[in-house]
Amino acid sequence: MNKLIIGQKPIGIFDSGAGGLTIARAVKSLFPNQPIIYFGDSLHLPYGDKSEKVLSKLTSDVMTFFESQNVGLVLVACNSASSVLELVQDKMFFTFPIVDVISPVISLFKQSRKTNPKVLLVGTRKTIRSNIYQKKLPNDIQLHAVEAPLLAPLVEDGLAQTDISNAIVKHYVKPHSKNMYDYCILGCTHYPLLVRDFESALGKSCEVLDIPKLVAAYLKQRLDTAQNANKEYITDRYYCTDITEFLIKQSQVFFGQEIKLELVSL
């Protein structure tokens, strides 16, 4: 696999809201010296219920924003947006490489795993109905895909790891699923905050994949960044298309530390 050379240029990270900060946090911990530009389209959230046409338009608008920021690469942290990325790239040319959040999972399942594994995929309506995982995963995987439209809003609303999230995860996962799966793919940027809820619903035999870690490790394999310690460091930027006090608070939960959100229009 050829390395993507981005030198000192920032890594653009994009999600529908603050949820993608779970991925940004993992990227930042593996690339502490690489500047990042985060873009959360909080004005248009949720992406998981948008039509293909609207989602493709929003995604290409965000890419045009990244063109103006001179990024070295864009990581589409949103699963729903990743599901329309090929359509967007068929119509528009971008000067930077784009990595989606689904490829690292596909790559893992092509390399190391149990044989004929039973895999549970959970995601938004858009992601599940796009069939993108089904199309890309190896054929021997026994995949069961579940749409879970309530989960992202629940996490956005600060209700992860509560009795409510526990009950709703169980509702989607179904009681007979305990110890039935080998792996669980959390196909949405918000779900890392629900890992404990999924682990308790799915039982010990199921490995709930750490998607942010997986995505960051995949980038590490693919990227060639500049290692010059004396370089002039560009500050990380965190842009959102709508900012409320609650979003500021939630961004801290997703990223694990305080960050300054800046308003930008699309």
* 91 burial level (CB within 10 Å; 0-12, 13-18, 19+): exposed
Binding to ligand DGL by residue 155, rule CB under 6 A?
Answer: no
How far apart CA 155 and CA 160 sit, in angstroms, is 5
Query: What is the identity of the amino acid at 179?
Result: N
Task: Give me the least distance between CB of 60 and ligand DGL, in Å please.
Answer: 17
Residues of span 218-247 touching ligand DGL by CB under 6 A: none
CB atoms within 10 A of CB 147: 17
Binding span for ligand DGL by CB under 6 A among 159-167, 182-190, 223-231, 256-264? 182-190
DSSP class of residue 242 equals S
Residue 240 appears among annotated catalytic residues? no
CB atoms within 10 A of CB 86: 11
Residues of span 17-36 touching ligand DGL by CB under 6 A: 17, 19
Tokens of 41: 């389209």
Catalytic-role residue among 184, 188, 206, 240 = 188
Task: Give me the least distance between CB of 266 and ligand DGL, in Å please.
Answer: 14
Going 167 to 171 to 173 to 174, the CA torsion angle's sign is positive
Contact partners, residue 139, CB within 8 Å, separation at least 6: none
Tokens of 1: 């696999």
How far apart CA 126 and CA 228 sit, in angstroms, is 41
Binding span for ligand DGL by CB under 6 A among 23-31, 43-51, 140-148, 243-251? 43-51
Task: Give me the least distance between CB of 44 and ligand DGL, in Å please.
Answer: 8
Our CB check for ligand DGL shows the closer of 99 and 152 to be 152
- The footprint of ligand DGL on this chain (CB under 6 A) covers a number of residues equal to 17
Residues of span 75-114 touching ligand DGL by CB under 6 A: 78-80
Binding span for ligand DGL by CB under 6 A among 184-192, 208-216, 219-227, 254-262? 184-192
Q: Are strands 11-15 and 98-100 parallel, antiparallel or unpaired?
A: unpaired
Tokens of 162: 């509560």
Residues of span 120-139 touching ligand DGL by CB under 6 A: 124, 127
Residue 206 appears among annotated catalytic residues? no
Query: Site residues (CB under 6 A) for ligand DGL?
Result: 15-17, 19, 45-48, 78-80, 124, 127, 152, 188-190
Enzyme catalytic residues: 78, 188
